[in-house]
Structure 1
Amino acid sequence: MNEGKIRVLFGSTEMLGTGVNAQKRCVAVHHLDAPWRPSDLEQRDGRAIRKGNEVAKLFAGNKVDVVIYAVEKSLDAYKFGLLHNKQLFIRQLKNNNMGCRTIDEGSMDEKSGMNFSEYVAILSGNTELLEKARLEKKIASLESERQAFVRGKSSTRYKLEGIMQTVETNKGFIARISKDVEAFNARVQTAPDGTRINPVKLDGLTATDPVSVGKKLNEIADKARTHGLSEPIGSLYGFTLLVKSETTVKDGFDLVQNRFFVKGEGEILYNYNHGHMASDPKTAAANFLNALDTMPALLDKYKTDNEKLMKDVPTLKEVVESVWKKEDELKGLKGDMTEMERKIAASLKPIEQSVGIMAGVPKEEEKPFQIPDRLQAVKEVMGERFIIGRPAAGVPERKGIKI
């Protein structure tokens, strides 16, 4: 081909595809059939449309003729439709601009694609089938869009319900913490220097100085075993002080840790340093007072969380209350599809009737087979070594056409 000794070269996509360098004198590519993949078509064209084509560059304006042969009103139309769908999907995927999550390339089987009656319609020149295929694609696309809309709306509804439940729960915490803050501010005592007094009262301890209180708390931290229950150990400004034993596993052994809390009037447990008691007695004695000091910050946290959550509520409500705007269009397309199926069914009746007529042809009566005299004479001489065969009588059956 490159030397000009071979003027015309025939071959399949596999034979003349990737790896064949015969472009030097190539002026045209003729596609006698349509491949199943767009990449195959590109490979065919690439045998001529590529660097190194000297004839096209010097005499044809650097262009190559590409001729595609197809038969009108045949399955070629459906085959090229598949190529179009596949190429569209590939381009959308490469450009990252797909508008849907799924794509149907089209199938050629009885379950998901054209059925055999539709094959007959296409071969008979019924162009309404192509319109039916286009309607099916539009309907499938709209139904997929509607399904995505419904899924998104449902997901938004669940999200909105979850937000509103969280907001209501936070409102309950805000009310209970606010009550505890008011009670603490009303009861707290301050020293002349402005510091708050820490009158911790522990059960079984008469002393109230910080060192004695701290030592007693460390003793409770080491020896108390509540088995997962919160047990009262004293009070501070009317708030109950609790200790709770928690068991964890470390290096294969059970480890018991005691945590300390202050229970508010709203049944909320406040803690400081994650409920762990400091080893220093004075610091340990101030643990519960420090826990009560966390209430304002905790109150602000719940208020801030609610403000952030409520910012999204109007937008979410708008999505939940929205209506899909293409419902009428989908109903219209389904009506057109019903009418198109009726027309196609009507156009197939003459074909089915003709098949019925062929099936109703009576068989020719079988006549006794007469052996010619000459063959009869030979048979008498040869005996059983001579066998006479004859064709079967009757009308040959039509097995159909293989496509």
Structure 2
Amino acid sequence: MKCRYLDELTGGKGVIFATGTPISNSMTELYTMQRYLQYGALEKSNLQHFDAWASTFGETVSAIELAPEGNGYRMKTRFAKFYNLPELMMMFREVADIQTADMLNLPVPEAEYRVIHVKPSQMQKEMVEELGNRAERVRNGMVDPASDNMLLITNDGRKLALDQRLANEMLPDEPGSKINVCVEEVYKFWEEGREKKLTQLLFCDLSTPKNDGTFSVYNDIRDKLVAKGIPPEEIAFIHHADTDAKKKELFSKVRRGAVRVLMGSTFKMGAGMNVQDLIVASHDLDVPWRPRDLQQRLGRTVRQGNTNKKVAIIRYVTEGTFDAFLYQVIENKQKFISQIMTSKSPARSMEDVDEAALSYAEIKALATGNVHIKEKMELDIQVSKLQLLKQSFLSQKYEMENNIAKDFPKDIKEQEQHITAYELDMAQIEGHTPSERSVFPTMQINGRTYQEKKEAGQALLDACKAMKSPEGVPLGAYRGLQMELSYDSFMMGFIVALKGKQTYHVTLGEDLYGNITRIDHEIDKIPDRLEQCREYLKTLQIQLETAKKEVKKEFPKEQELSEKVARLGELNALLDMDKKDKVLLDETAEIKEAEPKRKKTERER
């Protein structure tokens, strides 16, 4: 309402949004952005109501995906595809200036991504199996949602994937757990960067520092790093900087290397924190729900001002746990976000994953322990990449067919016309130019013929001063070409157009000899232009012949794609496909499923 009021006052120019993540979690966020910034355009197109907007630009897609408990598959229907994308983006770009990393080419360090996957302990395996049983009972309505639900199961599963002691402090500290592997990695980077005082960030959303003696991931990592020899004052928790003054002091210490290991959550360290100067590594201990959160974590390190040329982005996953499901959720969200936030022209419809989404899918595959599930995940990635390659191949093929039928013949004809025109102009110029170049060719200006360069130059300046309008007027002739004089209001200068079969423009100055020289230089460039056209014509003819050969070729990996698609079908049949959820339209469904049923029956509205 406020935005619409400001638009009324300012004619639609009173509201500016600036954000790096306009779409961070759900397809509905694009609709919300449009309601804020271009409600009038939505109203004009009868798209102001979400149902109308979604039916025009969104499509629900059903697909099998890993169940949250990590040990089976289910069918889910959700928004995972946009169509009518050119029209949607044309409308959105009326108010959105999208600048992506590939367009800006910012001076940021090169990121080297590394995924460290750890084996689950026997206790974790048994607890994941029990989570599967709990989920089955919830799905079949065998328990009261107030006592157990998918939200509780999901939270328990996320904690279990991080460290089994978050489920029960009495459980042993597993040597191969995420935390212990992370401690080794952090210490290695600390040791290697000791001379330059290089710094590191650790992100963990599922725990907080504690002072009551109970288990905390933060405390455990700090104590183990101190035991290895890192001074306690070089390790800090963002949670202790609870005022702006403390944050400013802490960030200053990180920037100069006094604090070399900074730990915190995405919420506290993800956005607005500028400590990138010496960061050499960033560690993701757990998986957030939104792609934006991973991007915000990444943006603290891969950022302008980082003095390191290369940085490490390390993500830790535990096989056979909720890590697989959570990376899948991020993958599904990244799919439709990438369809909008792109610098490339959109296709009519899109559903293929982009590179960022594929990297999430690869992490998901690493986190899956079941042999068939893991093979299916790997095939999903391979088939998606092959389909992406095929789509690109077909697009290039269609473009070549269009070039062969239209563009190449048109361009070849244009170049042939240019060549003929240049040749005729050169013949005309040669016939009106003395063989001895030291002799000034006669110049005709406003009906008078001038034999001397000085007189001709002065006559040019006089003609400029006599101009009454910027519109072009006939001036005379020189070296076989007609001359027309005009004034360019934008460039604020006089222009002489030399006209033969082609037209050549010369900007005049205030020097009477210099103007004649400029005109001669422009005429002397014609042979070079003729040669350029001949070379370009040869290139076009070669491209046409090459395109005719290339367009006959078939997709080189068609057989591989067919085989992988067939194998994928076999794996889908092998996997458990009996578990089906209700039709859900958004990733937030995982939360909605957990809402307890109301005790009283309410009327449907």
Relative to the length of structure 1, the TM-score reads 0.48
Larger Rg: 1
Bigger RCO of structures 1 and 2 (CA < 8 A, at least 6 apart): 2
